[in-house]
Amino acid sequence: MFTGFKIKKLLNKYAAAETPQQDTAIVADLKEIGHAAVRAAIEAFQQKKLPSGKAQFLLAKICDDESQEEIISLLGDPYDEVRRVAKTIIIDKWSKSSTPFLVEALKSSDTYTRTNATELLSTFKSQSCIPDLIGLFNSATPETKRCIIKVIGRIGGTTGTKLAMSALNDNSWQVRHAAVKCLGILKAPESVPPLLEKLDEKDPQMKMLAMDALDAIGDKSASNKMLALLTDDDLLVRQRATDCLIHIADAKIVPQVIELMRNPDVNIRRCAIEVLKNLKDPNTSEELMLALKDSDWWVRQIATSSLTALHGDNNITRGFISLTRDPDENLRRCAVEFFNNVVDPLAFDALVERLADEDWWVREKALRALGKLKDERAIDPIAKLIDDREMGRGVPEALAKIGGDGALAHLTRFLSVNSKRLKIDTIKALGLMKNKNATDAIKQCLSDQDQEVSAQAVETLKELTGRQFTANPDEDQSQGGDTRRVVSKQIAAGTSVTEAILVLDLCNSTDIANRYGDTFSLNLIKNLTDMVSPIARQEKCRFSKGTGDGFLMTFPDAANAVRFAQNTLVTVANHNAKAQERERINLRFAIHFGEAKVDDQGDRLGVAVSMTFRVEGVKAEGLIPLEGGMTAEEVPSDNRILVSENVFKEIQQMQGPQIKLVGLFELKGITGLHRIYSLT
C-alpha cells in the first residue's frame, strides 16, 4: 500500500513538473520502483491524468522487456494518443522482439489492435515472422487474413507470394480483394496467370483490382484480356482498362484496337482512341485520319492530338491540308487545330484560305497558326482582318509573332485607330516584337485619354527601353462606360463558339437576403462585381451576365478562366480579411471547356453551359470515389474551383494551379459519369 501511495504521489508531482530537470529526477525515482510504476503510469495516461508528451517520455524510460506485452495491449486503447505512444515505444525499444506478440495481436477481435499490429509488422518487415503468419492464416478470421496479407505484401519473398496466390480463392471476397492488391505490390511474374483469370469474374471491383495488379507488374501479355474489358458493361471497368492499357500495351494490339474503333457505342470508341493515341504507332495514322470523321467530338479531338504526335509523316500533313477545305466545319476545325500544334510551311496557302472561312473558330485558329509559321507573306492578308468584328482582336499578336518591317508598319498604323481595345492589343503586340523602332509610336499613347491605354504604354515602354515613363496626368482618365457587364457583340447570332465557360456563384445568397435584407444582398453583389470586373477584363472575358447571385462568363481559353477564378479568390480573401463577418464573401466556381451557341443578345446556350452549372452545384453526397480522388469529407463546399475533365486536359501544362481529382459525379441531364477536378 505504501508503494502505491508513493507512486501516485510521484505521478502527480511529475504531471505538475515544469522543467526537464524536475522531470528527469522524478522519472529516476519511478524507474527504481519497477513494473508497478509502469502499470500505474499507463493507468494515469489512460485516464488522461498525464499529457501524452510526458507519458511517452516516462514510459520510454521506465519500461523494460517485462513491460512489452502490457505496452502492446495498448494498441487497442480507445484513446488515440495512447495508441500512438504505444506504437512509438514499440518501434524504439522492441522492433525485433515484439514480432511474436504482434502476430498474436492480429487474432484480436478489436479493430484498433489488428490495424496497429499490422502497421508495425509492415514497418519492421521481419522475414522471421513469415512462418508464424502462414501458420496462423488457415485458421484465421477473414479480418485477420486481410491483415496477414497486407503484412506479407510489405515483407515480400517467394513464400509470401505463394500465400497471396492461394488466397485468391478464399471464401471471403474481402480476402480475395486483399490478395490481389498484395500481388500487385509484390510484382511477382508468377502471379500473372491467376490474376488474368480474375479478369473473367463478374465482380467489377475484382476486375479493377486485378487490372491494377497486372499494370503494376507490367506484363504485356495482359493486354488482350484488358482489351476485351473495353466493351464491359461497367463504365469504371472500361475506364480502368483504358488506363492500364495506356501503361502496358504495345503496337501488337493495334489491329484489335482498330476493330474497336468501329464499334457503334461511342463510349467504347472513346476508350479505343485513348489507347490508340498512347501507342504512338505510325501505322495507326490511316485509322486516326478516319477517326477525324467520327460523329463524336471527343473522338475527333483525341484523333487530332494523336496525329499531332505523329506529324513527321508527310501523308498526315497532306491529309490535314485537304481537310481544311472539307464541307464539314468539324473537320476544318480539326485541321486548323492540327496546324496550331504542328508548324508546317506546306500548310501556308491552305491557312490563308481559311482566314475567310465561314466558321469563326476556324478563322481564329488559322490566324494563330499563320502567326506561328512566321511567313511574311501572311502579313498583308492578316492585316486586312483588322476590321473583322470577330477576328480583329487576334490580328496584332499574329503580326507581332511574324515580325519584320511589314508587320511593324501595320501595327504602328493601328495605334491611330479610335479603338481602346485595339490600341491596348497593339501596344502589347509591339512589346512582344521587342522592336525598339516602335517606341516613338508608343510614346504617343502616353497622353491617350483612356487610362488603360496610357498605362499599357507605360508598361510596354519600360519593357522595351528599361526606362520609367509617366502617363499625362492632365488628360481625362475616365474609363468610360459600364465595365461590369461584358457582352461579346462580335460573334454573330447562331454561331457556335468553343470557349471556356465559367459559373461564379455567391454561396448562401438566399440565406444572406433572408437574414440581412435584399438591399444588403444587392450591395454585396455590387461589391463582388466591382472586384471581378477588372480581373475579367485582364483575362479577356468575352461574355458576362449576372445570374442573380453570381455570373456566367466565357473566356477564349481555359487558362484565362482558371486565372480569373484564382485571382478572384485571392482578391475576395483580401476583402474578407478586412470585412465584418456578415460582409464576407464566399464563392464557388465551375469551369468547363466546350462549344456553346450564341444568341442575338450574345448569350451562351447549349449543353456545355448546362454542364458548367451542373459542375458548380455538385455536392459531397453525390461523389462516386475513385482511387487517388477525394473522400466525401474532403470535398470543399465553398471557396472552391471545380473543373471538368475537358478543362483538366487543357491546363495540364499550365504553370501555377495544383490539380486534384475529386471523383466521379452524375450530372443531371448530362449522359454518363463525369470526372471532376479541384484547383488550388
**This model's pTM is above 0.85:** no
Q: For residue 144, what pLDDT is reported?
A: 94
Kindly list the distances between the CA atom of residue 82 and the CA atoms of 44, 56, 65, 89, 186, in Å, as whole numbers in the listed order. Answer: 11, 9, 19, 11, 33
Q: What share of the chain is helix, strand, coil (3-state, %, to 5)?
A: 65, 10, 25
Residue 406 CB contacts under 8 Å (≥ 6 apart), including other chains: 376, 379, 380
Q: Return the number of other C-beta atoms located less than 10 Å from residue 238's C-beta.
A: 19
* CA 41 – CA 376 distance, rounded (Å): 85
Query: Which residue is associated with the grid cell 493515341?
Result: 277
What would the grid cell of residue 466 be? 528599361
107, 142 in Cβ contact below 8 A? Answer: no
Nearest CA among 112, 157, 114 for reference residue 136? 114
Helix (H) or strand (E) segment spanning residue 252: none
Give Cβ neighbours of residue 316 (< 8 Å, ≥ 6 apart): 285, 289, 307, 310
C-alpha cell at 604: 451562351
**Angstrom distance (rounded) from CA 156 to CA 168:** 17
Q: Is 302 within 8 Å of 274 (Cβ atoms)?
A: yes
Residue 172, Cβ density class (10 Å: 0-12 exposed, 13-18 middle, ≥19 buried): middle
pLDDT of residue 380: 92
Ranges of residues in the chain with a pLDDT under 50 are 1, 473-489
With beta carbons less than 8 A apart as the criterion, state whether 540 and 556 touch: yes
Q: Which residues contact 361 (CB under 8 A, 6 or more apart)?
A: 329, 333, 496, 497, 498
pLDDT at 345: 92
Q: What is the pLDDT of residues 437-474, one digit of tens each?
A: 888 888 888 888 888 888 888 889 888 888 888 876 44
Task: Tell me the C-alpha distance between 245 and 277, whole Å.
Answer: 11
Q: Taking Cα atoms as reference points, which of 443, 468, 496 lies closest to residue 608? A: 496
Helix axes 158-166, 173-186, angle to 10 degrees: 150
Secondary structure (3-state) at 102 = helix
For residues 420 and 452, the answer to whether their CB atoms sit within 8 Å is yes
Query: What SS3 string covers 171-195?
Result: CCHHHHHHHHHHHHHHCCHHHHHHH
* Digit-coded pLDDT (tens) for 389-408: 777 778 999 999 999 888 88
Residue 472: predicted pLDDT? 63
**CA separation for the pair 640, 642 (Å, rounded):** 6
Total count of residues recorded for the chain: 680
pLDDT confidence of residue 481: 35
pLDDT for res 490: 58
Report the distance separating Cα 548 and Cα 219, nearest Å.
56
Cell, residue 203: 465482380
List domains and CATH numbers for the chain. 2-212 (1.25.10), 289-465 (1.25.10.10), 496-679 (3.30.70.1230)
Rg, Å, the chain Cα set: 33
